[in-house]
């Protein structure tokens, strides 16, 4: 799934940059609009209004935004170049490629949903059947019927085909491998945490030793200062 979205992102960037290089120098000339009317309450003559070019591919960011809107079916940004064959080629390639990618995404999602439903449908059916049977046994049977050996035998034999046994065995092997991988990962995490704790203890021991040395040096300096001051007092 991630690979599909990565390809889609590369396609959008590539198409946007390609159209930017192709159409950035094409300025769209809008025809001037002329009308006669009132301006601020006074009669005016012919007024000419000019519009700036609206080339959506003049800058890379606008080009990327326009190409992203292609995914929603908005092709209005390329309406000025409807007769440009190169633009048509870009549009056809982009539409074809994105359609394939989005269909692959939809197919992948539906396949995952169907697989999940198939894995759980048999279990749901068995649970429902067991609930119905338990309800019938409790509320709809007479006491002598509950002890009927034909209906409720003491031994039940289950027959399974070789394919089903192999399938269950393969599933058990996969589950065992998953458990082993999880166990190995947990052991690695525990070892890593143990090493980190050991390193922290070592660092803390070094810090404690350093603090002790600093305190001892400060105590020695204080005692030395006190002795020197007392000797000076005695001499005076």
Question: Do 31 and 79 belong together in one domain?
Answer: yes
The answer to whether residues 21 and 111 touch, using CB atoms and an 8 Å cutoff, is: no
Question: Do 58 and 99 belong together in one domain?
Answer: yes
Question: Do 100 and 10 belong together in one domain?
Answer: yes
Confidence of residue 222 (pLDDT cuts 50, 70, 90): low
Question: Do 18 and 88 belong together in one domain?
Answer: yes
Check whether 233 has a pLDDT greater than 70. no
Q: Provide φ and ψ at 159, rounded to 5°.
A: -105, 135
The pTM of the full predicted model, rounded to 2 decimals, is 0.40
pLDDT more than 70, % of the chain = 81
Question: Do 93 and 176 belong together in one domain?
Answer: no
pLDDT digit string, tens, across residues 140-159: 888 888 788 888 777 878 78
What is the chain's alpha carbon radius of gyration, rounded to the nearest angstrom?
A: 41
Question: Do 176 and 80 belong together in one domain?
Answer: no
pLDDT at 173: 92
pLDDT digit string, tens, across residues 97-156: 888 887 877 787 778 777 777 767 778 888 898 899 888 888 888 888 878 888 877 787
**Which residues, listed in sequence order, are joined to residue 35 by a DSSP beta bridge?**
47
Structural domain span for residue 201: 164-207
What is each CA distance from 24 to 21, 56, 59, 158, in whole angstroms?
6, 9, 7, 74
Question: Do 6 and 103 belong together in one domain?
Answer: yes
Is 23 contained in some domain? yes
Is 214 contained in some domain? no
Number of domains in the chain: 3
Q: Which residues contact 21 (CB under 8 A, 6 or more apart)?
A: none
Is 235 contained in some domain? no
pLDDT digit string, tens, across residues 176-195: 998 998 888 888 899 889 99
The answer to whether residues 21 and 64 touch, using CB atoms and an 8 Å cutoff, is: no
């Amino acid at each position: 799934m991630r690979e599909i979205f990565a390809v889609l992102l590369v396609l959008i960037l590539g198409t946007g940059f390609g159209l930017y290089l192709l159409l950035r120098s094409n300025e769209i000339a809008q025809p001037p609009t002329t009308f006669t009317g009132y301006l601020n309450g006074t009669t005016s003559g012919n007024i000419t209004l000019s519009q700036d070019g609206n080339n959506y591919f003049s800058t890379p960011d606008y080009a990327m935004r326009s190409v992203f809107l292609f995914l929603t079916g908005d092709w209005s940004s390329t309406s000025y170049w409807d007769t440009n064959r190169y633009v048509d080629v870009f549009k056809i390639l982009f539409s074809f490629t994105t359609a394939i990618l989005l269909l692959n995404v939809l197919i992948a999602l539906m396949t995952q949903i169907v697989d999940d439903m198939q894995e759980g449908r048999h279990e749901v059916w068995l649970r429902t059947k067991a609930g119905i049977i338990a309800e019938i046994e409790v509320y709809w049977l007479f006491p002598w019927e509950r002890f009927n050996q034909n209906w409720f035998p003491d031994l039940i034999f289950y027959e399974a085909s070789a394919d089903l046994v192999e399938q269950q065995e393969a599933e058990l092997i996969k589950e065992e491998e998953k458990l082993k991988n999880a166990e190995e990962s947990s052991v690695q995490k525990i070892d890593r945490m143990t090493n980190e704790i050991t390193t922290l203890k070592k660092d803390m021991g070094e810090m404690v030793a350093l603090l002790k040395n600093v305190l001892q040096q400060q105590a020695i300096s204080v005692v030395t200062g006190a002795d020197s001051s007392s000797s000076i007092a005695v001499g005076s």
